Structure 1
Amino acid sequence: MANYTLEEKDSFVVLGFGTELKSDYTDYMGINKEKADFWNKVNEDGTLDTLKTVADNDYIFIVNEAVNNKMMHYAGVMTKETLPDATRVIQFPKGEYVVVKGEAETAKDLHETLTGKAFGEALPEAQDVAYVGGPNTSVEMGKRDGKVYGEMWIPVVRK
């Protein structure tokens, strides 16, 4: 049984730099490698640091979204500003979200843990709501006791 809550959120915007995931959606190893390569790149080339300069808070957003039949993956921050090279301004709708909380040793482990719990446990258990697409995000919120903590936010509608 997944530990999740349903929370009402105001609409918000995440500014992101992204990459298209080219692996088949059932190829978890391929997708995870593409994501890891992307995160290594944005950490090493300063992209993530650049995003942090315009952020409204200290949260790092790891966004997955289908755009024009492509699986996209973004590093982002919540902001009303923009950057000239940013890949996308991602609009999250006002409404209910399935929220799964967690912590892990690394940001990568946190994202994988939250994604697994959210899509593998919480959504199947949430009988009154359904995920109908749109962007979803894991949110790295900070560190405590040597671990990274955060939440997965998935917009849902009432059935």
Structure 2
Amino acid sequence: MADFTLEEKDGFTVLGIGMELQSDYRDFAGITKEKADFWSAIKQDGRLDTLKTVATNDYIFAVNEAVNSKMMHYAGVMTEATLPEATRVIQFPKGEYLVVKGEGKTFDELSNMLTGIAFGQVLPEAKDFAYVGGPNTTVDMGMRDGLVVGEIWIPVVRK
């Protein structure tokens, strides 16, 4: 099984700008392209920079959440503030989280790798805990030695 930890986290809030994913949830290539196009757009039009102005830290969150039976994807920052551009305030519950750490050449590469490890390896093989829904996020924690460093955080419950 891949390297992971289970960590207790306090509840936190992410302010996000989001979009509905149109690809089937099993269409990894389609979802990956939609997310990449979304991130490119919010970087170019300045919405990501606007979000960063209200952040309580330097982390950038890529959040996935089912809302009203729709697969949503958000770019977000940890904050208690709001902005007119924001589309959702995402509450992450206090509790245990599956955490997988990694690094990649880009945040897209890192996010895709961590998502694959967490949902493709760790969760299917887990015997003591399970993901039962709720928002999950990949966190861009900055650069080290020319690589993007980050983690995926998935709320889990003990079986």
Aligned to 1:118: 118
* Unaligned 5+ runs, structure 1: none
Question: Cα distance, 1:126 vs. partner?
Answer: 2.5
- Root-mean-square deviation (Å): 0.7
Residues 138 and 153 of structure 2 are in contact (CA less than 8 Å); yes or no, is this contact kept in structure 1? yes
Q: What is the distance in 1 between the residues matched to 2:40 and 2:85? A: 18
CA distance in 2, matches of 1:19, 1:104: 24
- The more displaced of 145-154 and 25-34 is 25-34
Rounded Cα–Cα distance in structure 1 between residues aligned with 2:34 and 2:40: 10
- Letter aligned with residue 71 of structure 1: M
Q: How does 1:67-78 map to 2 (within 5 A)?
A: 67-78=67-78
CA distance in 2, matches of 1:85, 1:125: 40
Q: 1:52 aligns to what? A: 52
The alignment of Structure 1 onto Structure 2 pairs a total of residues equal to: 159
Please list every run of at least 4 consecutive aligned residues from structure 1 whose deviation after the TM superposition is greater than 4 angstroms. Answer: none
Q: Deviations over 1:27-80 (max 9, x none)?
A: 111111111110110110001100000000000000000000000000000001
Identity %: 73
Q: TM-score, normalised by structure 2?
A: 0.98
3-state SS of the aligned residue for 1:149? strand
Question: Aligned with 2:100: secondary structure?
Answer: strand
8 Å CA contact 2:51, 2:77 repeated in 1 = yes
Give the superposition deviation at 1:23.
0.8
Counterpart of 2:154, as a letter, is I
